[in-house]
Structure 1
Amino acid sequence: MKYILYMIALHVLLTGLVYQVFFQHKLLFIAAEVILFISIAIAAQLYQDFRQPVAFIRSGIEAIKDQDFTIRFVPTGKGEVDTLIEVYNLMIDQLRQERTRLQEQHFFLEKLIEASPVGLLVLDFDERVVQLNPTATRQFSDRILGKKLEETDQGLLQQMSTMPDGESRTLKTTGIQTYKVQRSHLMDQGFRRSFFMLEELTSELYEIEKAAYGKVIRMMAHEVNNTLGATDSILQTTLDFLTEPEFSDLSEALRIASGRNGRLTQFMRNFADVVRLPLPRREAVSLNRLVEQVSLFMRATALNQGSSIHTPEPNEPCTLYADTAQLEQVLVNVLKNAIEAGGTEIRVEIQKSELAILNNGKAITSEESTQLFNPFYSSKPQGQGIGLTLIREILVNHGFSFTLKTQADGWTAFRIQFER
């Protein structure tokens, strides 16, 4: 657009000058006008020439956004464009191979679960059995599908129904058979669903399982790291050859892709950290003091972003039983998100059984509100959603309920209700 505007302005100016200078000399005026028309035609042709690589880049970016790695461009016979097409096709081939490897690994993990000697039993939102793997089916039969654990006539399942989330127990069905049963949960469509893993405690079974899981973890780490390393190596090698100014847009796109590889590696590390989050070690915590300490820690960051943090005046002490380090991590992440919302003021309010952190920054849209606590969802362009995922996991493990939404008055509030 700048080029077009510049050419229009230039030729309008030249036309005016030609009119002023050569109007009295008809032949010179006509010759000058012919030259101007030729110049306009050349400018239009140049515009079409340098617009073609941009069009290829735009088409390629759209294909990548749509995760369509089957599109490959055919060479056109023009040097610069063909170089661009060759690099794009090479990158798409690498991405397609990477996705194929990941799909194969996912399929392998599904087969591993089906063949696993560990029984897997999944409940729905109403705590009814909806899924069994083959090992669990052999143990309990599929007659328990659709029933609550306490409604069955099997002693092991009735014992399992009393287990709290996150607990692991050793249970016996008879005087001989002993099982290690662990209850955990997953998030499905924003709601919590429980599942059980049952392992027969024989030394042989334990060793086989340990070796199998170790092999899977090593294989996945090896394959993913190799894929990312090879892809980034190709991108960096290509960048070394694209030093000419006309390839600046392509070079920038490849740098973005290389940066994405690095962020994906970091994302996997962050994901592992969340998965390995330990259960809370509860102790008496002064919420007033903890809020004051974290607010003081985050105050400088807020000031740098043009915001201020206001904490409540000391009043009735609020004490709860929680993991101090994990609860501190929750407050740091919530305040960080409030600061990044871009408002000018952050208020912290403590009531008898509730903590509220409010900010007057960017409001949460209705579309975002339905996905906020989905695993690794983020509304930020460079966000990974690790912060909210970590917050959710810590608060769920503590048994604390929480909400995040923009109120009618325009303030966005993160509220945590404590069970004290």
Structure 2
Amino acid sequence: MSGAAGNGFRLSLVTRWSALVGTLLALGILIALGLDHLLPGRPGLVFGICLLCMVPLSIITIRSQIQPILSLFRALAGTVTSYKDGDFSFSLRWQQNDELSDLIDAHNDLGNVLREQRLDLMQRELLLDTMVQNTPVAMLLVAEGAGGARPIVYANIAARQLLNEGRKLEGHALGEILQQSNAALRDAVTRGGDGLFTTGDSEDEEVYHLARRNFSLNGRRHELLLLRQLTVELRRQEVQTWKKVIRVISHELNNSLAPLTSLAHSGAELVRRGQTERLPQILETIGERTRHLETFILGYARFAKLPTPRIEACGWDGFLAQLSSQVAFRLIGETPAAPAMIDPAQMEQALLNLLKNAHESGSPPGLVELNVKRVADMLRIEVSDRGPGMNEAVLTNALVPFYSTKRSGTGLGLALAREIAEAHGGRITLGNREGGGLTVALILPA
């Protein structure tokens, strides 16, 4: 439909209605003067005839002027209703060049803006839906339902293929779909929280990561489930890790076996010559290198064979006294009154590694500190030092197994502490301290 009238002679509503009223008033005066001339001395009759003539004429004239305006108002109400329904294809026309034409122009401009925004929003929704539908991550949006039923609101192609052989999932209850799926997936979703789970056996084994997020949509609680297949990525990482392990072990074995071979040859040569006075020194060196190699191998074995934690109540006073008898530290603040629910042996090993790292950082021994505190429903154990701290590259890789910046380091201390923390259902964080130094925190469920 066309828009409002173009720019031309402008006649405002006030001017037009003033002219109309003035014209009707002048016409009434003329009729009264004419009747007074025809009927002299009879003012009552003249007034009555004027009313009979002017009232219908005024009503007809005013109605003829108001009717288009009322039609315009009805059209405006109709377009507003169309806007509410999401239809922005209407525009209006007003023949006069007055204030109402400005209103119609503004209304049509609003419709054009809304129409462009709607088209832009539709294009974005189409782009987003295309991206979501074709992502390899299986996505499920689940709403809360009556009686514990959780209807699936949205599912992409990957989710349909994973859970329902490519068929539609929307409208089905999540529990009903999970009953038909793999037991490992069902257990992972039922258990709650994020995590990894494995399906299949031997060569058909697949590893998935489940992530979930809760939010409100239209006043109703929803949960977004994301299932990502990690099998290929984990296998690639596994190969890289094994290569790194083999390089580290080969390097350490060569560093130990080469001197042992040389010392053994030297000892044999001395025995052959009868010069046995240097044999004790050679044998002592061989023993030292052998013990170093044994310690190295035991460290790897301990990391690879970490058992499931045996959680028990452990009082802080006795635990910290046992720890301080093995490595020095300064206790900061008061320990929580409630005992810790931990595996004492594993947690002691983790803290020993962290405290030894703090001493080896170059920090003054008196500034190696340990702080235990309760934060909400979590237990936070912090080991701090005043060494040089870590740069960004080291912070990024410090928790990776076998990564070490020390010449004689195995790269297992922090990795073992991380493994122990995660086995307890917690995590480990590293951060540089203001003023220099590093803080390593074990964050555990209280």
Structure 1 and Structure 2 fold alike (TM over 0.5): no
**TM-score of the two chains, using structure 2 as the length reference:** 0.39
TM-score norm. by structure 1 comes to 0.41
